[in-house]
Structure formats: C-alpha cells, structure tokens
C-alpha cells in the first residue's frame, strides 16, 4: 500500500507558495496583443465592431417609432431602465435601410443604440490580422480591416458613428 498523504501535503505546500508569491510580485507588464471584436452582418456584408466600444448586445428588442423621426433614427428603446435612441447602422454606412432589425448594440461612450441585421459571433484576432484603413466610401465610420477565417471585415468605429449622427 502506497501512502499518498506526504505527496498531497507537499503539493498543497507548493500551491500555497505559488499563490502567495503571485501577490508578492508586481503585475505582469505583458499586454495581450489580441483584439476582441463582434462579427456583424449589414446588408449581406460582413463587418466587425470593437468589443471595447460596446456596452451591451441585445436581440429582438422592441423599437418604438417616434413622431417626426427620419433619416437614420429608427426610434427609441429601453435598455436596463434607460430609454435610448436607436439608429440604423446600415444606413449610416450607406447601405439600404434595415427592415425589422433583430440585433442592437449600445455604445459604451453614450446611451445610443445601433441596429443591424445579423450577429455572427465574437472574434478574437491578433494585432497582425488588422490592417489600417484604406481609402473607400465607408472610411468615415471605419478604422481598418480585419481578416478572420479568410473573410475581410471593415471595422466600424461606434465613436465615429456617434459623430456622424451629431452632424
């Protein structure tokens, strides 16, 4: 019969030592080179949104039309006790208006919602997968292009979308 108690006690002591040491050392200066994005679909085109620009993602949210709303404004919706305007992200990018948008994101920097056609999942990519903005018609709202699984997706900057709404 093998006595495992001494090995368990030794392993527990090692784990305690590692745990205590992790608090004694300064935080690691290594910064992750990965970028977290959401894959979205606008008018059958694939785009990406920076996860850091988003406060929330919602599905099948009721949007209430408001009198006199026109242009990019679809209406208002309630989000965790806050009423926010909801804009058509597709129209802001020059695509046809979205019909019955299923998905909404709330901007992290303001209580403003953006509606779009489809959500395709979270993307984690390395910094090398992102290329700087190229000249194009969507340049006003995008900051670059990300390649993920052989698909090139322009990256929509929600702060730029907010500025476009203001003007």
Q: Which helix (H) or strand (E) holds 79?
A: strand 73-79
Give the pLDDT of residue 2.
65
CA gap 102, 120 in Å, rounded: 12
What mean pLDDT comes out for the span 53-77?
A: 89
The answer to pTM > 0.85 is no
Sequence ranges of the domains in the chain: 34-166
Give the pLDDT of residue 137.
47
The pLDDT tens digits for 91-134 are: 888 888 877 889 999 999 999 999 999 999 999 988 887 887 66
The pLDDT tens digits for 130-146 are: 887 665 545 678 888 88
CATH number of 34-166: 2.40.50.180
Helix (H, G, I), strand (E, B) or coil at 39: strand
């Amino acid at each position: 019969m093998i006595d495992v108690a001494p090995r368990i006690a030794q392993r527990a002591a090692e784990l305690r030592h590692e745990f205590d040491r992790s608090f004694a050392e300064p935080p690691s200066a290594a910064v992750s080179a990965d970028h977290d994005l959401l894959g979205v679909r606008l008018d059958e085109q694939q785009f990406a949104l920076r996860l850091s620009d988003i406060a929330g993602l919602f599905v099948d949210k009721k949007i209430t039309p408001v009198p006199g709303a026109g242009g990019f404004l679809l209406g208002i919706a309630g989000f965790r006790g806050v009423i926010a305007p909801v804009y058509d992200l597709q129209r802001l990018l020059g695509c046809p208006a979205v019909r019955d948008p299923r998905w909404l994101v709330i901007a992290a920097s303001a209580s403003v919602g953006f509606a779009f056609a489809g959500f395709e999942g979270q993307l984690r990519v390395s910094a090398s997968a992102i290329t700087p903005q190229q000249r194009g018609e969507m340049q006003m709202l995008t900051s670059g292009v990300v390649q993920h699984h052989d698909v090139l997706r322009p990256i929509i900057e929600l702060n730029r979308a907010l500025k476009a709404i203001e003007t």
